[in-house]
């Protein structure tokens, strides 16, 4: 399977934002403008996370998902405020390929199995948020430390039927200083689920380092919002580094219509 | 040309419907099969979801009857992802549930010893060298897969394969004018859309 380059779009209920260490969010622009940008930049997938849905106790904005589905002919995953099977179903019928669970999975692990049994494991991604090698899983956007040990939680998720892990190191979020390859490596040896890592990607080499230890993809926001780097450029660089990535197509399917 | 898309209730058919109608075909979403259901040139069975739930919907919405009447008329069917797996006799995902049995064989779980499961992301496919599409799809062309199960069909039905780790599995299967596609052509960018269009045109013309 090709290594995936995945922009994360964080939505605060009004606009797209990006902060550091899950705090101090800066406004980036409108959802539509950001979506238009990524529709041109050839990512492998998009993660759209509504970071205020759970804290303000509101439903996901399904109309945004429908607009995404209009704009993108690639898969996208949606997260934030998904706390029931019904809401997960609505996300998928609005055009998302999969849902991302965070706090809701920590509060009620059964939700993972409920959704997996109805929509299939491949539709359930769970966000595992932690600080460096501290060992605990955090809920509510990194604000609340839970009693879950990260490795126990990952094992439990796999048994519950989750289909993918989004591993986020909050201490590296927005810092552009590199991913936590030590943590990623530790998690990879403990699960057979695909793992997408996030937090710290700031250069093309950071993607390469993570890819080489076997992570399925790297999700990133700041590098694509605050620097000139695009997903397509990252792919070309990784290809030269020997990483198996999806490259721009020269296909006869397109050339010959 | 008229294309019907089955609503299996558990999955997102909008992206399939959008892709199909963008090709200029008349598209109808079918909720339930009854006397009022008109005939079409092609039925598309889309799908993400669990085999058990989908199998139940095939019963409750009378889609089994619809597909078999349609096939008896010599019409074409295309199944995508779970829709492809439903064309088999059954699945390890839910051993008691029955599929449509269009292809001999069953759906099996991918092995974690081969690579990570689910098999998620972009990968290349390889057509049989005698296939009419063999020269159309290039070695580097990627399509989006997301599945934990694969179809175990006799070799004669396999048009194209992909890899899970080093293990080959069917990416496209075919029997007369029935085609199953394991990946999501509707989510595989322009390439995927074009391939889906070609498969639709090919299956309707026969």
Nearest to B138 among A2, A164, A251 (CB): A251
Cβ contact A98–B146 (<8 Å): yes
Q: Where are the beta strands (DSSP E) in B97-193?
A: 106-109, 119-124, 126-127, 142-147, 149-152, 158-164, 167-175, 178-181
Percent of the residues in chain A that have a pLDDT greater than 70, as a whole number:
97
**Per-residue pLDDT tens digits for B35-54:** 889 999 999 999 878 899 99
Q: How many CA atoms lie within 13 A of B189 on its CB side?
A: 22
Domain region containing B30: 2-205
Query: Structure pTM?
Result: 0.95
B-chain CB neighbours of A249 within 8 Å are 138, 140-142, 189-191
Q: What is the CA radius of gyration of chain B?
A: 16
Interface test with A, best of B86, B134, B146, B200 (most A CBs within 10 A): B146
Q: Which residue of B has its CA nearest to A1?
A: B123
Residue B127 CB coordination number (10 Å): 18
Q: Average the pLDDT over B99-107 and give the result.
A: 98
Please report the sign of the dihedral spanned by the C-alpha atoms of residue A70, residue B199, residue B178, residue B81. Answer: negative
The pLDDT confidence band at residue A122, using thresholds 50, 70 and 90, is very high
> Which residues of A, range 215-244, sit inside 8 Å of B by Cβ?
216-217
Inter-chain Cβ pairs, chain A and chain B, closer than 8 A: 142
Measure in Å the smallest separation between the Cα of A66 and chain B Cα atoms: 9
Q: Enter the CATH code of domain A4-255.
A: 3.20.20.70
- Interface residue A123 vs chain B (CB under 8 A): yes
> At which residue do the structure tokens 């700031």 appear?
A202
Domain ranges, ordered by start, for chain A: 4-255
CA distance B132 to B142: 19
Q: Which of B10, B117, B193 sits opposite A192 (nearest CB)?
A: B117
* A250 pLDDT tier (thresholds 50, 70, 90): low
Interface pTM (ipTM) of the complex? 0.94
Residues of B carrying an active site annotation:
81, 184, 186
CATH of the domain at B147: 3.40.50.880
- Residue tagged 């126990």 (tokens): A152
Give how many domains chain B has, as a whole number. Answer: 1
Mean pLDDT of A40-52: 94
Least confident segment among A15-24, A95-104, B45-54? B45-54
Give the strand pairing for A16-20 and A4-11.
antiparallel
């Amino acid at each position: 399977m090709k290594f995936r380059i995945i922009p994360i779009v964080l939505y605060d209920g009004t606009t797209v934002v990006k902060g550091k260490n899950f705090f101090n969010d800066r406004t980036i622009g409108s959802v539509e403008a950001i979506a238009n940008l990524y529709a041109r930049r050839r990512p492998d997938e998009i993660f759209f996370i509504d970071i205020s849905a759970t804290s303000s106790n509101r439903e996901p904005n399904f109309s945004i998902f429908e607009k995404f589905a209009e704009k993108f002919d690639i898969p996208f995953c949606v997260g934030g405020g998904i706390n029931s099977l019904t809401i997960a179903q609505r996300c998928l019928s609005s055009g998302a390929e999969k849902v991302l669970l965070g706090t809701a999975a920590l509060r009620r692990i059964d939700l993972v199995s409920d959704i997996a049994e109805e929509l299939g494991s491949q539709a359930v991604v769970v966000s595992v948020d932690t600080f460096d090698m501290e060992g605990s899983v955090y809920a509510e956007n990194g604000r609340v430390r839970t009693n879950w040990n990260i490795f126990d939680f990952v094992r439990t998720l796999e048994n519950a039927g989750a289909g993918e892990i989004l591993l986020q190191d909050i201490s590296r979020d927005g810092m552009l200083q590199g991913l936590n390859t030590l943590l990623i490596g530790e998690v990879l040896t403990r699960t057979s689920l695909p793992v997408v890592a996030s937090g710290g990607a700031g250069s093309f080499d950071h993607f390469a380092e993570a890819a080489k230890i076997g992570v399925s993809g790297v999700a990133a926001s700041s590098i694509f919002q605050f620097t000139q780097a695009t997903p397509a450029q990252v792919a070309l660089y990784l290809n030269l580094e020997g990483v198996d990535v999806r490259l721009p197509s020269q296909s006869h399917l397109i050339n010959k219509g | 040309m008229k294309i019907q898309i089955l609503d299996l209730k558990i999955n997102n058919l909008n992206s399939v419907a959008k892709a199909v109608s963008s090709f200029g075909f008349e598209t109808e979403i079918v909720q339930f099969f009854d006397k009022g259901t008109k005939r079409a040139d092609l039925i598309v069975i889309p799908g993400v979801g669990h085999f058990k739930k989908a199998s139940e919907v095939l019963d409750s919405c009378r889609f089994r009857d619809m597909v078999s009447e349609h096939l008896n008329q010599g019409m074409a069917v295309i199944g995508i992802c779970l829709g492809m797996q439903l064309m088999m006799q059954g699945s390890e995902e839910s051993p008691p549930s029955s599929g449509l049995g269009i292809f001999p064989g069953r759906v099996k779980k991918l092995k974690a010893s081969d690579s990570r499961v689910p098999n998620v992301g972009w990968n290349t496919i390889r057509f049989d060298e005698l296939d009419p599409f063999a020269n159309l799809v290039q070695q580097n062309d990627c399509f989006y897969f997301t599945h934990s199960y694969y179809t175990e069909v006799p070799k004669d039905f396999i048009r194209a394969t992909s890899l899970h780790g080093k293990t080959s599995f069917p990416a496209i299967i075919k029997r007369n004018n029935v085609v199953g596609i394991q990946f999501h052509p509707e989510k595989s960018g322009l390439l995927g859309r074009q391939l889906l269009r070609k498969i639709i045109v090919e299956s309707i013309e026969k």
